[in-house]
Structure 1
């Protein structure tokens, strides 16, 4: 099969399309014929090997531990292992897998859910990692409740577009922070208010929020805290910026260290995929409560350019790759 592979850390130039062996599935695995895959910022970090902390966490010290890139997937079940009870060949699925930038990918059955019929494969592939992060930031780390004022920073990005819609589904009053060209998009997905960060400082408006979900990754904690109520919660999603060793994780660490000494709750987020949350997201998108936003779609051969576009940081929703 054809797949996007890399043998060393580096820029998108290290990616290439090659013919490789088909994945071998275990007893609890599913072989998926990939119809679409989507990218998230973690793909960039795994590709570059930065921050270096990632290498020590098991991604490979000198070279990537796995050759084929990509995690988010939507496709059709081709085969199942002996222990798989939830799927059979021909089922349309979405979720997370090993190496989705390929014609076929291996996934654990608990990492997949039935694809909602109303979604295209491209839309379904846009859901898993980013929507899981948004859901867990709001519900688990943020404790969102109906009637709260929620601020989503980076509201037009992959996680941000899901966070805006999910916060509305939880009954919150939502303000989205984004650039000028994305204001209409953020309004269209349900934000009650929008702030153009190129023209206005959300911390200087006088409005204080019960919960801030920061997906943009570079503002000082002191600045973010000025937009919180005295007992509000800040959830930092992702770890952008910073140095080569820790990247932006140092900002999350500072938030955790400061939190016990202030009235506000300051938290980082490491989202984790699980069967229950993926099923819940499938229900929400299936009902039309949440709609994935797809910015651009690239062919598999152009995956390197897709990752370059993602890294520029001005995407509106998700970037999708199709074999």
Structure 2
């Protein structure tokens, strides 16, 4: 199979297309022919060893010192089941599915092996591009909003509203009945308004510290807030959610400040897919590329100006 391989940390040019053997199918896993995957901010951080503050040594211990031990990156896929492990039930060869692979990665390839527990059937009305572009940002946004108890009457601030997590968070918060203030650049204001934002703040003109308002939920998707600055934006019973946080904030976030990694749950995938199928959730795709153009995809993510999701067809 053809795969995008990263053998050492570095710029986008370290990503090379290689021919690799098909991955082995374990008893509780399935082999999926990948139709589409996504290049996320997480993939770009791993490739470039650009880890959040304090995570450098820990990340290299976990992932590899000179380069990733798992040389095929990518944690999101949508495709067709090619083979089933001996103990897999509930799925069939030829079925269209999507899912995530967590720290096992391996999705930037023509085939990937994934645990059956992390699969969701793909509705016929949802394209592979949409499914691949949905799961990373959608599942993270849904998790954090649920942690904060977002519901009718909540006021929500989404910092980084035009990215993969942000575009989903704006829509999901509105779906949950909240009033949403979106923070993004001026060039993306029209997009986030179309997604349902009640108010848009251009961070190039108004710094977060100068907003002068407080919110029940503050979701930071870009790492420009820490536990102290986020708390200053909260109402008395509000909750701050740091989707991109330093090691220090991850270790000491307590009470009304939450940090950490969103879990990958098939139940959440199925719920998000149902919203896309019913047209209650739009998947925002910055660009769709071929596997041969994956270096370009990494360059686009590295700019920090990707809008929504960047999809790669395998």
Pairwise TM-score range, normalised by the shorter structure: over 0.9
Q: Deviations over 1:21-67 (max 9, x none)?
A: 011111111111111101221112222334332122x2223431212
Could you say what secondary structure the match of 2:45 adopts?
helix
Deviation at 1:172, TM superposition (A): 0.6
Could you say what secondary structure the match of 1:152 adopts?
strand
Using the alignment, how far apart are the partners of 1:7 and 1:275 within structure 2?
A: 30
Q: Does the CA-based 8 Å contact 1:116-1:124 persist in structure 2?
A: no
- Asked whether 1:84 is paired with 2:88, we answer yes
Deviates more, 1:116-125 or 1:184-193: 116-125
Could you say what secondary structure the match of 2:65 adopts?
coil
Could you say what secondary structure the match of 1:126 adopts?
helix
Deviation at 1:202, TM superposition (A): 4.2
Q: Deviations over 1:122-150 (max 9, x none)?
A: 1110112221111111102x121211100
Using the alignment, how far apart are the partners of 1:131 and 1:157 within structure 2?
A: 11
The two structures, once aligned, show a CA RMSD in angstroms of: 1.7
Using the alignment, how far apart are the partners of 1:299 and 1:125 within structure 2?
A: 13
Using the alignment, how far apart are the partners of 2:301 and 2:67 within structure 1?
A: 22
Q: Does the CA-based 8 Å contact 2:156-2:180 persist in structure 1?
A: yes
Partner of 1:242: none
Q: How does 1:104-183 map to 2 (within 5 A)?
A: 104-140=111-147, 142-183=148-189
Deviates more, 1:216-225 or 1:99-108: 216-225
Q: Does the CA-based 8 Å contact 1:203-1:224 persist in structure 2?
A: no
Partner of 2:217: 211
Q: 1:282 to 1:146 in 2, by over 3 A?
A: same
Deviation at 1:206, TM superposition (A): 3.0
Partner of 1:100: 107
- Asked whether 1:198 is paired with 2:204, we answer yes
The two structures have a TM-score, normalised by structure 2, of 0.92
- Asked whether 1:293 is paired with 2:293, we answer no
The two structures have a TM-score, normalised by structure 1, of 0.90
Deviation at 1:267, TM superposition (A): 1.5
Using the alignment, how far apart are the partners of 1:36 and 1:272 within structure 2?
A: 21
Deviation at 1:303, TM superposition (A): 0.7
Structure 1, unpaired ranges of 5+: 240-247
- Asked whether 1:32 is paired with 2:41, we answer no
Count of matched residue pairs: 306
Q: Deviations over 1:99-137 (max 9, x none)?
A: 111111111111110112222211110112221111111
Deviation at 1:220, TM superposition (A): 4.7
Q: Does the CA-based 8 Å contact 2:98-2:132 persist in structure 1?
A: yes
Using the alignment, how far apart are the partners of 1:231 and 1:191 within structure 2?
A: 22
Q: Deviations over 1:218-245 (max 9, x none)?
A: 2354443332212211100023xxxxxx
Partner of 1:244: none
